[in-house]
């Protein structure tokens, strides 16, 4: 802890803050202060209209860094090229994001420094919109927001409230502390955008299907059977495959984390829906089953099951769910060339994973210990063992992103060469 009890949650993080031209720009001064007291390095870029609302000197004083505003400044380019400015950040934050700035970003325009940086960056952008409510609700703005989201952008707000123009509704920029919380949540995940798809990367030309997260098996309209999977490991695998150049279909159970950028994400709830979505995404070169699929389901009651008031409790009759991994492996020539499963174990991790490899007929199993105290369910790190017919490769405990990258390297090695 430092700075009067504020935790240094952003220590060492580099943020590029693009300030658009709106009355909410004054709130971004406080945002810089809050980010700095949490340990972040903040570089500010202002649009020409932002400078009509707040002086560049105010941002320079609060950030302790030079403020950038000119795409064509020879001095700035020599000191820090605009590509470097966009790439050195861990996250790009746009606050306030005006309707005009959103539109330019959605169209991929590069007509000033701010829009050029949004186009050149290899990191995700977090937009904090601020505008009149009609401008926010206008179909054109909503189309632009949907386009940006599909491209991997994140959003915080806008909030409902009184506007500077006297109207009331959605359009107020989120408060600085709300934006700080969104930045912390974004940085807790991988913020790198995948390399432009196509021709580059060891999985270029390949289609990979990844399952992730838990499944929810309804008991009645209000209750369900679930497990502790957060989706972090499966989403990291999907993101790593995309960075390696693959086309990725991620079939995700209900997870509270953002869809990875550059990946087509299909959201499902139950194991049977997950099985269906995986089948629908075929053909694929690779299947990776990282989801914690419920082995069992119940026939859900149409109405909420009532208390029995001292009588015998209701019995849940369980039926077995389809085994998606075994089905993919069982397709042989008609299925993915490489089928990878995960094994979540609480004892004899490698022995049980070997059994699963044989029983399910897949090529590789990533075994991990999910016993209480390991923090693997829901945590950011994992300690995994790659189990195959060739033996066991135990990887050091590392971030789920690093586990995913090791797995992708192994997948690429096994597939060899280019796409078929």
Q: Which is closer to ligand PMT, CB of 112 or CB of 190?
A: 190
Q: What is the DSSP letter of 19?
A: E
Query: Which run of H or E residues covers position 249?
Result: strand 247-252
Sign of CA dihedral 239, 241, 247, 252: negative
Q: What is the DSSP letter of 101?
A: H
Q: Which is closer to ligand PMT, CB of 30 or CB of 381?
A: 381
Catalytic residues: 165
Taking only Cα atoms into account, the Rg of the chain, rounded to an integer number of angstroms, comes to 24
Nearest to 28 by CA among 129, 115, 121, 123: 129
N-term to C-term CA, the chain:
54
What is the x/- site pattern for ligand PMT, positions 329-348, by CB under 6 A? ------------xxxx----
Q: Does 412 bind ligand PMT (CB under 6 A)?
A: no
What is the x/- site pattern for ligand PMT, positions 271-290, by CB under 6 A? x-----------------xx
- Residues 6 or more apart in contact with residue 55 via CB below 8 angstroms: none
Q: How many residues bind ligand PMT (CB under 6 A)?
A: 29
What is the x/- site pattern for ligand PMT, positions 211-250, by CB under 6 A? x-----------------xxxxxx----------------
What is the x/- site pattern for ligand PMT, positions 252-271, by CB under 6 A? -------------------x
Among 368, 387, 406, 408, binds ligand PMT (CB under 6 A): 368
- Residues 6 or more apart in contact with residue 355 via CB below 8 angstroms: none
Q: Does 376 bind ligand PMT (CB under 6 A)?
A: yes
Residues 129 and 100: their CA atoms lie apart, in Å, by 10
Min CB(391)–ligand PMT separation in Å:
19
Q: Which is closer to ligand PMT, CB of 157 or CB of 289?
A: 289
Q: Which is closer to ligand PMT, CB of 141 or CB of 401?
A: 401
Among 76, 279, 295, 410, binds ligand PMT (CB under 6 A): 295
Residues 377 and 381: their CA atoms lie apart, in Å, by 9
Do 154 and 143 meet the contact criterion of CB atoms below 8 Å apart? no
Alpha helices in 108-220 (DSSP H): 113-120, 133-137, 139-150, 176-187
Q: Which is closer to ligand PMT, CB of 145 or CB of 344?
A: 344
Q: Which of residues 152-191 bind ligand PMT (CB under 6 A)?
A: none
Nearest to 293 by CA among 249, 250, 324, 266: 324
Among 90, 259, 323, 405, binds ligand PMT (CB under 6 A): 323
Per CB under 6 A, residues contacting ligand PMT are 211, 229-234, 271, 289-293, 295, 321, 323-325, 341-344, 356, 368, 370, 376-378, 400
């Amino acid at each position: 802890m430092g700075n009067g009890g504020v935790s240094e949650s952003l220590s060492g993080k580099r943020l590029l803050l693009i300030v658009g031209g709106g009355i909410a720009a004054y709130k971004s001064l406080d945002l810089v202060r809050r980010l700095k007291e949490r340990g972040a390095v903040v570089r500010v870029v202002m649009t020409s209209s932002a400078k009509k609302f707040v002086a560049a000197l105010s941002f320079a004083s609060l950030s302790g860094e030079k403020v950038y505003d000119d795409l064509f400044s020879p001095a700035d380019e020599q000191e820090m090229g605009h590509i470097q400015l966009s790439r050195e950040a861990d996250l790009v934050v746009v606050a306030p994001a005006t309707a005009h700035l959103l539109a330019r970003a959605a169209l991929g325009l590069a007509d000033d420094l701010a829009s050029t940086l949004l186009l050149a960056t290899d990191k995700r952008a977090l937009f904090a919109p601020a505008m009149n409510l009609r401008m926010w609700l206008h179909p054109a703005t909503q189309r632009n927001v949907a386009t940006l989201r599909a491209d991997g952008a994140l959003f915080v707000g806008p909030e409902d409230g009184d506007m500077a123009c006297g109207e009331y509704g959605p359009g107020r920029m989120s408060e600085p502390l709300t934006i700080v919380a969104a930045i912390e949540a974004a940085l807790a995940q991988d913020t790198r955008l995948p390399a432009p798809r196509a021709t580059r990367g060891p999985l270029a030309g390949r289609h990979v299907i990844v399952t992730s997260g838990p499944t929810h098996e309804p008991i009645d309209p209000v209750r369900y059977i679930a497990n502790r999977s957060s989706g972090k490991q499966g989403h990291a695998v999907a993101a790593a495959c995309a960075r390696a150049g693959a086309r990725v279909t991620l079939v995700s159970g209900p997870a509270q984390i953002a869809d990875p950028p550059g990946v087509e994400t299909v959201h499902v709830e139950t194991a049977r829906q997950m099985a269906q979505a995986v089948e629908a995404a075929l053909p694929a070169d690779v299947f990776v089953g990282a989801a914690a699929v419920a082995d069992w389901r119940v026939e859900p009651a149409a109405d909420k099951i009532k208390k029995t008031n001292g009588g015998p409790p209701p019995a849940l009759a369980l039926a077995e769910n389809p085994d998606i991994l075994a089905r993919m492996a069982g397709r042989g020539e008609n299925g993915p060339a490489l089928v990878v499963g995960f094994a979540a174990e609480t004892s004899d991790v490698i022995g049980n994973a070997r059994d699963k490899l044989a029983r399910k007929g897949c090529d590789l199993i990533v075994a991990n210990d999910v016993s209480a105290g390991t923090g693997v369910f829901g945590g950011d790190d994992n300690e995994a063992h790659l189990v195959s017919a060739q033996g066991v490769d135990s990887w050091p405990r590392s971030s789920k992103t690093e586990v995913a990258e090791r797995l992708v390297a192994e997948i690429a090695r096994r597939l060899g060469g280019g796409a078929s």
